[in-house]
Structure 1
Amino acid sequence: MKKISLIALTTILFVLSGCTQQDEEKTSTLPESKEDQMAYALGVMQGESMANNLASLEGTKISVAPEQVIAGFADGLKQNSQLDDKTLQSIMAEFRGNVTLAMQKKRKDEEAKQAESAGDNMAKGTVFLEENKSKEGVVTLASGLQYKIIHAGEGMSPSITDRVKVHYKGTLI
């Protein structure tokens, strides 16, 4: 559990430290040794992962104080936590629960917006189909599918064993 918490705190640190330095120029340079480059790459990957995770929390009421994340990360690296394991686990469980609830609410809100948009689009689609079926050359099947023959074929109809080449343009309303 300590390893997972340490990784989570590490990731949060990298992301949030990057967020606080948006206006500053990039001053870090790539380490010279292969080992340091690997460590740096690990940090970048963790930071990008945390940035993506935090970006998914946009639009929720969850916020994270970068200073506290950095302090917790530093204490974690020193293995000098201000919290005992039980308290740490309790806080992280509460945080995960809050994130879950926030994401469920966000998903519900997005679904409501999509449902509203779907209703509008359905109405527009119905109007289009009604107008379109009265146009010259448009054929409407029982299923509601509409098509227009642009160039009628000539000659024999293909049998089940024949190969045919079809040119068509399918569109959405």
Structure 2
Amino acid sequence: MKPLVRSTAIAVATLLALSACKGENKPVEVSSSKAEADKAATDKTGYPGLPTEKEQVSYTIGMAMGKQLSEIKDEVNVDTVVKALRTQMDGGKALVTDEQAQQIMQAFGQKMQAKQIAKMMEEGKANLEKGEKFLAENGKKQGVVTTASGLQYQVVTEGKGAKPGASDGVKVNYKGTLLDGTEFDSSYKRGEPAVLPLQGVIPGWAEGLQLMPVGAKYKFWIPSKLAYGEQAPPMIGPNQMLEFEVELLEIVKAPSGN
């Protein structure tokens, strides 16, 4: 959890810079002449409410800090954060030593890591159940074939060419979506086909593409065990069942190094 500790430290340091510009935690009365001057300055800079460079920089720093701290907003007390920031800026005596601060942040990092793992396990269980339920119903639909491994596919357009082997590479166009319809990858949006080795793709793809003749377009429904399982990228999530539309354009020599 070192990145968490590091980002939190940066966020805290930045909040100090922001708090220094605020002054005391009391309302400040602004004279009409001062308000008019600020408005005139704002009109020139184009940043409403931020008439000076110092305020613009301070606000921008605060925005960056807010984004970082928002990830752990339920774990921190902003007033206490500001208190520590001001103490450090004023050269006062801190309530904890640097060594104690490191121990606190290490324990906090471990706590946050445990929470993240628990959250992923809960999400993974829910995703697995949803995927299994979907596949059970989808497998009953006309035209959907379920293989011995659990992969499901449907022929959209049949091809007339050869079928790739396990050691081949393929040139394909494809679109991948989650169970809720969220699109997470698409060669169509990138504007060019992908060239991939079958030995380097997820098991569901490797199996499914070997069923396809060149020129074919298939739909795949890939259970999580044949996709990314629990170790899925964040954009996909643990134990997600994946749906793909795949067009097999060519069989090619597998890219070297795979």
Distance 1:146 1:98 in 2: 50
SS in 2 for 1:101: helix
SS in 2 for 1:149: strand
Change over 3 Å in CA distance of 1:48–1:136 after alignment to 2: same
Change over 3 Å in CA distance of 1:170–1:57 after alignment to 2: closer
The structure carrying a bigger helix percent of its residues is 1
**Native 8 Å contact 1:139 1:146 kept in 2:** yes
**Native 8 Å contact 2:12 2:81 kept in 1:** no
Calculate the TM-score normalised by the size of structure 2. Answer: 0.42
Counterparts in 2 of 1:39-58, with a 5 A limit?
50-58=65-73
Counterpart position of 1:36: none
Distance 2:92 2:176 in 1: 63
**Native 8 Å contact 1:9 1:69 kept in 2:** yes
Counterpart position of 2:16: 13
SS in 2 for 1:124: helix
Once the two structures are superposed, residues 40-97 of structure 1 have per-residue CA deviations (whole angstroms, 9 ceiling, x without a partner) of 96x7786566545544442225653424522431x3xxxxx344xxxx6x61221232
**Native 8 Å contact 2:11 2:69 kept in 1:** no
Alignment RMSD (CA, Å): 4.2
Q: Pick the structure with greater CA Rg.
A: 1
User: Which amino acid counterpart does residue 52 of structure 2 have in structure 1?
Assistant: T
Counterpart position of 1:29: 52
**Fraction of identical pairs, as percent:** 29
Distance 1:18 1:168 in 2: 52
Matched, 1:157 2:173: no
- Structure 1 spans left out of the alignment, 5+ residues: 1-6, 32-39, 76-80
Aligned length: 145
Distance 2:22 2:105 in 1: 20
Counterpart position of 2:117: 111
Counterpart position of 2:135: 129
Calculate the TM-score normalised by the size of structure 1. Answer: 0.58
Counterpart position of 2:75: 60
4+ long deviations beyond 6 Å? 18-21, 43-46
